[in-house]
Structure 1
């Protein structure tokens, strides 16, 4: 399926969407992004700051919340909740991820973006995810750069929107995962901001996931009645067109990048 570009209608909704970004933190030097951050939480070391030492979370946040790339449409107004779950080497753990999701539930965010994943789930992670879903939180998670292997957790869980990658030619890159995929999004050479406030190009399911979060936030802002995982999938349906049968790679559809 093909899902076309969706733009934010500023007249439709003045309410800001509460978006949590579970990642390596966001650069404190980027003034545009920091104006959007309303709360931060370090799930790895709670008493330390959230500097993005891995140069990942800043780029993810840029795709979600800034107009760096004119090809991906306008974004909704949003408040960002920055949550650190990845260290300076890009490593995280299930315990920190679980703590982060539980924190997001308490903060009553609407969307959780997880541009990361783990190979094995735990009961605690599963229960945190299900509690979030039952509270109407939409979790959008990267399937993983697994080169055809199974989807990472928490993307693999029921109720989580799992995201794979397509390139500019609507082909699935070799690094993409296989299995429980909901949608595939552009994720090859996406333009965003790096830690030095310079424009760079980023590739991987992490950035496809950020693209998806941007689109979902826009749909929520534009349309009434989007309250959970099932509602948002219904709202996406009118924008889709069948293109083939690669369900284990592109799921229910993929979004077209307009050039």
Structure 2
């Protein structure tokens, strides 16, 4: 990808773990570190980055040439999403090959320009888009998002093994919804279990990039089009994302195709 130094996939084995919210905040945190950042929303069936970045419904990207789109810049991030090209209320009733083709068009027919990092917000699972990404795109690494819940961890393991099978280094694991602190009494509780992210990171010899709380503000900020990193820049959540961003940037600086956990496949 000409002009793009690193492509990083942000993935999860299952939906509902906050992957898109993590991707949006990670993009903003990386930009806050002085990097040129782009974000591709690769969830063709359920794109959400347009709302998270506060892009008005109906805004369409301008053409940068024949069959080439200019990305929509929101909060300093170059973004592209299927939500910019269709009515967000219309369901994408497409088979796998059509989805994979749409993903390739969004990636290759966007005039990204010079970027330090292009984050790809992957759809959940290990299907067509994941295979297309691994076969057609030079991916520098992947970030896995999970919750501590055992069911989520099982699917996160599948995600890690899938990336390692196609020789994409796993840069680390982000454990979302780690704990919840009651706003009335201050009691902190691990609603979905404890230690899951650390356990899976240790099992696959990768790093636990960070643990994020289950809080109302993260959801409200994302729904309102101003993710926590810019809505509450001095808050603990924003600082957690900055710590994650620095680790991702550092891992990319020393990235090597042979790095990462060694997993055998039969």
Q: TM-score range by the shorter chain?
A: 0.3 to 0.5
Greater percentage in helix: 2
What TM-score does the superposition give when structure 1 sets the normalisation length? 0.42
What TM-score does the superposition give when structure 2 sets the normalisation length? 0.41
Larger radius of gyration: 2
